[in-house]
Amino acid sequence: MQTSGYFRESSHRFYGAVTALVMLTLYEIFIIWGARSSDFVVRNAPEAWLRSTLNFIGISHYHISFLMLGAALVAVPLFYDASVKLRGRVIVLMILESIFWGIASGLLIQLIMTELLFMAGTVSGSLIGDLGLAIGAGLFEELFFRVILTTVLIRLLVKTIRTRWLSLLIAILIASFLFSLAHYVGNLADTFEIYSFLFRFLAGIWFTTLYSFRGFAIVCMTHAFYDIFVILL
């Protein structure tokens, strides 16, 4: 398999759907497993928003996980393309590439910010639960802020601003601003600090750039691996 073939296949929506299914399954397992050693269950913020919305329209909290897993399962054959095969070599290379980008992400933003102020600490009360949250952050935050929000903003702004590059820039900046701001909302939100806010804002811009060039699967895993490195270190 040539390098160009790898980049084409790994950025395809089919691999994005497979990655989402695997990450969602691991997220649910780790969250439930981690909750066994804690008095409460902590979930990723965008997923919690989704759960609240589905609860509001009458879907039971106990059915939501099965509903999401079902949607992820449907997405795999939905995005299947006969020209793209599920290859073990591609998956291994995707994992290695994402680990590389996960490390590079922190180093890149450190160079811009001068010092790293994104502090690590336990959130769920257990290491397993925190690893689950890292996987959930990679999946749900990239799905919500990059795939959905940025795309919607671009389509809305293109209709009002004639200059396409300016529409793209404004959409990325707004989505990155909201991505950073979301970390300070909720019962377990971080205390607002301008440096950590700017760090996450720049991270949002970086992840959007990576998503544009490498697709959903790579940016999801990169975000997750980065968060895992922060937790472990």
pLDDT in tens, 92-130: 999 999 999 998 887 777 666 544 344 444 455 678 888
Residues 176-215: pLDDT tens digits?
Answer: 999 999 888 766 667 888 888 888 898 899 999 899 889 9
Domain residue ranges of the chain, discontinuous segments joined by +? 3-76+91-116+123-232
Q: Which residues 6+ apart lie within 8 Å of 60 measured at CB?
A: none
| Residue owning tokens 């939501």 | 64
Q: What is the pLDDT of residue 115?
A: 44
Minimal CA–CA distance to 220: which of 10, 69, 2? 10
Asked if 146 and 207 count as a contact pair (C-beta separation under 8 A), the reply is yes
Whole-model pTM: value is 0.83
- C-alpha distances out from residue 184 to 155, 190, 196, 200, Å: 27, 5, 10, 11
Q: What is the pLDDT of residue 116?
A: 38
Q: Which helix (H) or strand (E) holds 120?
A: none
Asked if 109 and 206 count as a contact pair (C-beta separation under 8 A), the reply is yes
Q: What is the pLDDT of residue 75?
A: 95
Residues 28-59: pLDDT tens digits?
Answer: 998 888 777 666 677 788 888 888 899 888 88
Asked if 213 and 131 count as a contact pair (C-beta separation under 8 A), the reply is no
Residues 58-95: pLDDT tens digits?
Answer: 888 778 999 999 999 999 999 998 889 899 999 999 99
| Residue owning tokens 């720049």 | 202
